[in-house]
Amino acid sequence: MQDAPSSPVARQQSVRLVVERLLRDRSVSRAEIARSTGLSKQTISEVMRDLERDGWVHEDGQIQGSVGRSAVTYALRPDAAFVLGIDLGGTKLHIALADLHGEIVAESIEPTSGDGGAAVVAQIERMKDALLQHASVSAQRLRGGVMGSPGMVDPASGSIVIAPNIPGLDSLDVRAALRERLGIDITIENDVNLAAIGEHWRGNSRRARSFAFIAVGTGIGMGIFSDGYLVRGARGAAGEIAYLPLGGDPYDARGLRFGTLETAIGSAGIVERYLGLGGSPGSTVRDVFDRLEIEEAARITIDEISRILTTAILAVHSILDSEIIILGGSIGARPELKLRIDEHLGRCMREPVRIELSALGNRATLIGAIGSAIDLVHRSQFGIGRDAGPLALPAAAADVAA
């Protein structure tokens, strides 16, 4: 057994080892911690005493030993701290308050303020205060938060470089403003990246170390996991597949703003294609899908869209060698689209990559934000975790083992 820690650094390392074991198991005894960490019984007793005193750990039960003795088991308290998950969209703002197991105790949805960046920050503060009051959680127990935002997030500064549909957000130091107004550490992440984190934590890619999450709706974006890590790129723009030269001419200036692929298969592109085939004026993307079985223009439109998206998937898989590709977003999660993509992939790939629809739907970004915020707390408090998303929390570990 290792000796008791004799310095602050050694004590921090001991705390990290103990908390890591507590995170892997819902309930564990001191003897089990000693066997897995190599720490002495004295060190573990001191660490557990400090964690109990500070409210992070509590006695969880007892287990029967091999010689008839029972041992007390311990677990992390899910209510030791709370986090905020924020999903900021151009039209909708969704905020949730969750405990350290990722269980949501209060949430709220409002239309996003149209008055610009500062007004949005103030709106988030007001909604946060209402959630804390509703859940009877003190502000002191709120320890961190993560916000998902459209656009490109600079990985170094956390600033939002491009924020479509939210005026003034890209000219504001949003992270600093949120930290000042909310009084907690806040991280900002691209919303599709967070959706990929959410799927990796509690969705259909839990067992995959390399996968892509492709969201198709008003626009198109992608979150990438490679060997268990989220890929952001040098400027935070990894996964911006809207600009793939597919579905149109990449030199057409009309694609400079939204990208060639997004212009072709985003919601506006789908409706434009449908109308060009003689579809009913005033139709929406939902109308096109609803008429799929009864109208030739709708059928041709969706067939063409699925063919273009299949080509994009082929390109992505050829580079990433993904175990699985998850489709999400209001359009990407349509089963009618997946059916056609599976058929097209069978014609252009010897071993077609497995395609699954998002298990989390329109909550993927929010769930990813919550998981990442929990990881933020673990890093700040115990030096545990990594920048790619939530560690294997007790609830998440149970999901993976299921």
Domain of residue 63, CATH code = 1.10.10.10
Residue length, the chain? Answer: 402
What is residue 71's predicted lDDT score, i.e. its pLDDT?
82
Structure tokens at 203: 């969705």
Reported as a pLDDT band with limits 50, 70 and 90, residue 11 is confident
Please, what's the largest Cα pairwise distance for the chain?
A: 80
Q: Residue 213: helix, strand or coil by DSSP?
A: strand
Q: What is the DSSP letter of 76?
A: E
Residue 1 domain flag: no
What pLDDT was estimated at residue 65? 59
Do 231 and 352 sit in the same domain of this protein? yes
HSE toward the beta carbon, residue 113, CA cutoff 13 A:
15
Residue with tokens 């209402």, as numbered in its chain: 130
Residue 40 DSSP code: -
Tell whether 209 and 350 lie within a shared domain: yes
Flag whether 296 is in a domain: yes
Which residues touch 54 (CB under 8 Å, ≥6 apart)?
A: none
Structure tokens, 271: 């409706």
Query: What is the Cα–Cα distance from 242 to 192, expressed in whole angstroms?
Result: 12
How far is the C-alpha of 302 from the C-alpha of 295, rounded, in Å?
11
Give tens-digit pLDDT for 263-307: 999 999 999 999 999 999 999 999 999 999 999 999 999 999 999
Query: Is position 2 within any domain?
Result: no
Whether residue 348 sits in one domain with residue 309 = yes
* Token code pair at residue 340: 């056609």
Q: How many domains does the chain have?
A: 3
Cα three-residue angle 108-218-149, rounded to 5 degrees: 45
Q: What average pLDDT does range 369-391 have in this prediction?
A: 79
The amino acid that residue 362 corresponds to is N
Number of neighbouring beta carbons within 10 Å of residue 158: 18
Distance CA 262, CA 278 (A): 22
Q: Tell me the two tokens of residue 56.
A: 């992070």
Tell me the mean pLDDT in the region 309-338.
96
HSE-CB for 229 with a 13 A CA cutoff? 7
Residues 396 and 101: their CA atoms lie apart, in Å, by 8
- Indicate the helix (H) or strand (E) that contains 37: helix 30-37
Give 368's pLDDT tier (boundaries 50, 70, 90): very high
Closest CA to 304 of 327, 276, 346: 276
pLDDT, tens digit, 9 for 90 and up, residues 102-120:
999 999 999 999 887 889 9
Q: What is the CATH number of the domain that holds 148?
A: 3.30.420.40
Q: Is residue 61 part of a domain?
A: yes
Tokens representing 266 are: 């985003």
Residue 135 shares a structural domain with residue 250: no
Distance between CA atoms of residues 386 and 378, nearest Å: 9
CA 148/CA 130 separation, integer angstroms: 20
75: its two tokens? 């677990």
Q: List, in sequence order, every beta strand (DSSP E) within 139-271.
A: 142-149, 152-153, 160-162, 185-190, 211-216, 220-226, 229-231
Task: Answer whether 222's CB lies under 8 Å from 212's CB.
Answer: yes
39 φ, ψ (degrees, to nearest 5): -75, 150
Q: Are residues 95 and 71 in the same domain?
A: no
- What are the tens digits of pLDDT across the range 57-94? 998 877 765 555 678 898 999 999 999 999 998 889 99
pLDDT at 61: 76
Residue 95: CA atoms inside 13 Å, Cβ hemisphere, count?
23
- Together in a domain, 218 and 354: yes
The range of the structural domain enclosing residue 18 comes to 8-76
Query: How does residue 258 score in pLDDT terms, banded at 50, 70 and 90?
Result: confident
Q: Is the pLDDT of residue 398 over 60?
A: no
* Shared-domain flag, residues 222 and 290: yes
